[in-house]
Amino acid sequence: MRAIEENYQRIEDDRRSFDIRFWQSQGDHAIFEAVWEMLHYYILIRGKDANEFRLQRTVESFRKA
């Protein structure tokens, strides 16, 4: 069973310490899953195929700096 954490504060108070503490306690896997889910919905809202994330790019050319 998961523990539920709540935070009550005014909207004007822009203290993010609760958010930072919460996400750091979740671990890398949970953070990655949350980001992946947000990307999925972002692409669906844009009307694109959610199965074709454009996270990888093809290198067209490179040269010595």
| 28: its two tokens | 């890398």
pLDDT tens, position by position, 28-55? 999 999 998 898 888 888 887 766 666 5
Q: CA-CA distance, 6 to 23, in Å (whole number)?
A: 13
Q: H helices within 1-65, ranges in order?
A: 17-26, 28-45
pLDDT tens, position by position, 12-26? 767 788 888 888 888
- Tell me what percent of the chain is helix, strand and coil, each rounded to the nearest 5: 45, 0, 55
Please state the pTM of the whole predicted model: 0.56
